[in-house]
């Protein structure tokens, strides 16, 4: 044997430490330098909140934020409704082309972003849909439907059908059963899927970059142009704000998913 | 009948959306890949196979090879870093395990642009890495790390490592420890038990993780663009250039179609390998 058991364990532990360092050091650096008073993005000069104050005066940034929220909000609503319906159809019904539907449904997240972006761009131009925010919303809904369907299907799979049967035995019609039994039971899955869709939509750059019209800048596209045409320490402050936002969102997502597992335990 | 009616309502929106905004766009890019480029950046509606012939140009084959090999190296590095990591995590105290796993996911929920930008901060000539090394080593001459293939490779590993760790962890966590004990009781050394029991049983995780890393990295646009500084070309950047600056949409469409082809071949190979693995559950002792 090359190494003793003890040495092997040490190597494993060192690897754990290195991976966490690798994952967190860059983010940590961005957060620290967002409080740097110098004009330089990576040379420490002193502490300041100045860059954050500058963010509030930046009209272009806020316009981009508003566009991002609008795109993500509308795309999430569309994707959540369509994706939940699709998940119900796939899990509850047997029909022809079911396997084909499942495969095509997941294809938008299997093919590279840039291919989906180009396909939509050429399509919009060919059918003469002018590029704007609507074209971005449509594009985001395409990949978000897949994610919502995955999350809601997972919820539908681990779920107790006897409750619905009981409701029907007790005289509820199908509509009542759906609204009062099925929907509340799968709600954590739907909310989880919606939060995931919203985050991915806010995060998306490549698809937005190709499908947005000129002048319709979202937050990601705005950050990209800042990175390409003149990096200033303001970027660090924007990044830190976004990071804080992401953390709030993960906590929300986990909270709802946590609700999933505990309520399932109660069901059982 | 009523049931059919329900099904129709549930299916109509998703089928409509997928046909209109996914399948038709794919048809559209396919058509574009077979027409001619116009003089002023527009297109001329003449059928031509020329865009595909151009792909076999030495230049584009080289770029393609760079993209594929970079993605393969990225997958290999993620596997080397991720496997021991997931292995250790799967054997950790269950109470803290979920927290440790969550810590892997947190950076991955951060905006991808920002995670990539963070590496600019570190790798640039006046960046943190050079300052740190300069402070430790006297007479340090700063390394030019940004805008190199190495920077792109680091950025890609950073961006996609969690995609490797999560499926590996899922596979290793389910692993039945009694099988390992059985192997050792029957006289297998720990190393033999690892290679003949642990690795084959975690193969679905290895395959899934490799897929999840390979697919987005082979078509990556943002990481090479920001960390490679446009100095080294990858297929994603060449596609972007055809649409944004060179205005040669037909050629860009042909490139996109080929990229999709590579990814779909990879996906089919993945499912084939997965099926084969399920076909022979017990591996040789």
Least CB–CB distance from B118: residue in A15, A27, A254:
A27
Q: Provide, as residue numbers in chain B, all residues whose Cβ is less than 8 Å from the Cβ of A174.
A: 2, 6
pLDDT at A268 (0 to 100): 34
User: Does residue A42 contact residue B128 with C-beta atoms inside 8 Å?
Assistant: yes
Quick: pLDDT tens for B208-264.
Answer: 999 999 999 999 999 999 999 877 889 999 999 999 888 899 999 999 999 999 999
Cα–Cα distances in Å, from A193 out to A77, A154, A256?
11, 10, 10
Q: Is B34 exposed, middle or buried (0-12, 13-18, 19+ CB in 10 A)?
A: middle
Q: By the CB < 8 Å criterion, does A112 face chain B?
A: yes
Q: Is B271 exposed, middle or buried (0-12, 13-18, 19+ CB in 10 A)?
A: exposed
Structural tokens at position B259? 């990229």
Would A34 be classed as within a structural domain? no
Would A198 be classed as within a structural domain? yes
> Collapsing DSSP states into helix, strand and coil, what is residue A157?
helix
Would B9 be classed as within a structural domain? no
Structural tokens at position A3? 């190494």
Minimum distance, in Å, between the CA of residue B280 and any CA atom of chain A? 25
Which residue, among B274, B250, B40, B244, has the nearest Cα to B167 in the 3D structure? B274
Residue A230 region by backbone torsions, left for phi larger than 0, else alpha for psi between -120 and 50, else beta? left
Quick: pLDDT tens for B104-116.
Answer: 888 877 788 989 9
User: Does residue A111 contact residue A47 with C-beta atoms inside 8 Å?
Assistant: no
pLDDT at A104 (0 to 100): 92
CA A109 to the chain's CA centroid: 12
Task: Find the domain containing A100 and state its range.
Answer: 58-267
| Rounded to 5°, angle at Cα B198 from B193 and B200 | 110
Would B42 be classed as within a structural domain? no
Minimum distance, in Å, between the CA of residue A212 and any CA atom of chain B? 13
Confidence of residue B145 (pLDDT cuts 50, 70, 90): confident
Minimum distance, in Å, between the CA of residue B161 and any CA atom of chain A? 9
CA A240 to the chain's CA centroid: 18
Q: How many structural domains does chain A have?
A: 1
Q: How many structural domains does chain B have?
A: 1
Q: Provide, as residue numbers in chain B, all residues whose Cβ is less than 8 Å from the Cβ of A95.
A: 7, 11
Helices (H), chain B: 2-18, 24-32, 50-55, 58-90, 94-105, 112-123, 128-136, 149-174, 177-185, 190-193, 199-201, 203-218, 222-227, 235-244, 249-279
pLDDT at B73 (0 to 100): 97
What CATH code is carried by the domain that includes residue A174?
Answer: 1.10.3720.10
Q: Provide, as residue numbers in chain B, all residues whose Cβ is less than 8 Å from the Cβ of A149.
A: 14
Could you give the percent of chain A with pLDDT greater than 90?
40
pLDDT at B284 (0 to 100): 43
Structural tokens at position B197? 């029991």
Average pLDDT, chain B: 87
- Cβ contact, residue pair B89, A16, below 8 Å: yes
Would A213 be classed as within a structural domain? yes
- Kindly state the average pLDDT of the residues B171-179: 83
Quick: pLDDT tens for A218-253.
Answer: 999 999 998 888 788 888 888 888 888 878 877 877
Which residue, among A70, A215, A208, A99, has the nearest Cα to A143 in the 3D structure? A208
Q: By the CB < 8 Å criterion, does A268 face chain B?
A: no
- Kindly state the average pLDDT of the residues A187-200: 89
Search chain B and give the residue with CA nearest A201: B111
Task: Find the domain containing B113 and state its range.
Answer: 52-279
Would A38 be classed as within a structural domain? no
Measured distance CA(B10)–CA(B6) in Å, rounded: 6
- Cβ contact, residue pair A141, B17, below 8 Å: yes
Per mean pLDDT, which range of A61-75, A114-128, A132-146, B137-151 is the poorest?
B137-151
What CATH code is carried by the domain that includes residue B69?
Answer: 1.10.3720.10
- Cβ contact, residue pair B89, A27, below 8 Å: no
Structural tokens at position B209? 């993780």
């Amino acid at each position: 044997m090359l190494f003793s058991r003890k040495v092997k364990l040490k190597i494993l532990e060192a690897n754990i430490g290195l991976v966490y360092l690798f994952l967190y050091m860059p983010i940590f650096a961005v957060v620290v330098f967002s409080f740097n008073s110098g004009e330089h993005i990576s040379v420490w000069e002193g502490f300041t909140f100045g860059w954050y104050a500058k963010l509030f005066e930046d009209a272009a940034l806020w316009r981009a934020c508003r566009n991002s929220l609008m795109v993500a909000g509308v795309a999430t609503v569309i994707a959540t409704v369509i994706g939940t319906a699709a998940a119900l159809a796939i899990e509850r019904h047997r029909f022809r082309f079911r396997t084909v539907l499942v495969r095509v449904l997941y294809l938008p997240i299997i093919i590279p972003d840039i291919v989906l972006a180009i396909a939509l761009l050429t399509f919009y131009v060919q059918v003469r849909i002018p590029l704007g925010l609507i074209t971005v919303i449509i594009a985001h809904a395409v990949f978000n439907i897949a994610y919502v369907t995955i999350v809601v299907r997972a919820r539908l799979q681990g779920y107790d059908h006897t409750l619905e049967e009981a409701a029907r035995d007790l005289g509820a019609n199908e509509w009542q059963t759906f609204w009062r039994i099925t929907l509340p039971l799968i709600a954590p899955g739907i909310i989880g899927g919606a939060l995931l869709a919203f985050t991915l939509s806010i995060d998306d750059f490549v698809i937005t970059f190709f499908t947005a019209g000129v002048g319709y800048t979202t937050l990601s596209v705005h950050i990209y142009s800042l990175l390409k045409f003149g990096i200033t320490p303001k970027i660090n402050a924007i990044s830190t704000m976004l990071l804080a936002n992401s953390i709030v969102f993960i906590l929300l997502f986990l909270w709802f998913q946590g609700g999933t597992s505990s309520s399932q335990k109660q069901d059982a | 009948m009523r049931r059919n009616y329900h099904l129709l309502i549930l299916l109509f929106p998703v089928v409509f959306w997928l046909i209109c905004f996914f399948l038709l766009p794919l048809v559209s890019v396919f058509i574009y890949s077979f027409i001619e480029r116009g003089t002023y950046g527009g297109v001329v509606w003449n059928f031509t196979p020329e865009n595909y012939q151009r792909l076999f140009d030495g230049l584009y084959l080289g770029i393609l090879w760079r993209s594929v090999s970079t993605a393969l190296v990225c997958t290999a590095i993620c596997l080397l870093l991720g496997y021991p990591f997931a292995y250790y995590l799967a054997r950790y105290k269950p109470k803290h395990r979920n927290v440790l796993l969550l810590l892997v996911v947190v950076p991955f929920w951060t905006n991808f642009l920002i995670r990539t930008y963070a590496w600019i901060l570190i790798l640039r000539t006046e960046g943190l890495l050079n300052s740190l090394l300069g402070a430790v080593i006297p007479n340090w001459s700063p390394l030019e790390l940004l805008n190199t293939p190495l920077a792109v490779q680091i950025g890609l590993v950073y961006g996609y490592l969690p995609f490797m760790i999560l499926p590996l962890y899922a596979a290793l966590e389910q692993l039945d420890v009694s099988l390992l004990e059985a192997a050792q009781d029957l006289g297998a050394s720990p190393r033999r038990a690892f290679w003949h029991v642990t690795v084959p049983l975690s193969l679905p995780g290895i395959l899934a993780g490799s897929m999840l890393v390979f697919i987005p990295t082979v078509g990556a646009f943002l990481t090479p663009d920001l960390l490679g500084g446009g100095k080294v070309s990858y297929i994603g950047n060449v596609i972007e250039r055809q649409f944004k600056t060179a205005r040669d949409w037909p050629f860009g469409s042909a490139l996109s179609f080929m990229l999709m082809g590579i990814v779909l071949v990879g996906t089919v190979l993945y499912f084939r390998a997965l099926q084969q693995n399920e076909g022979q559950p017990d591996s040789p002792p």
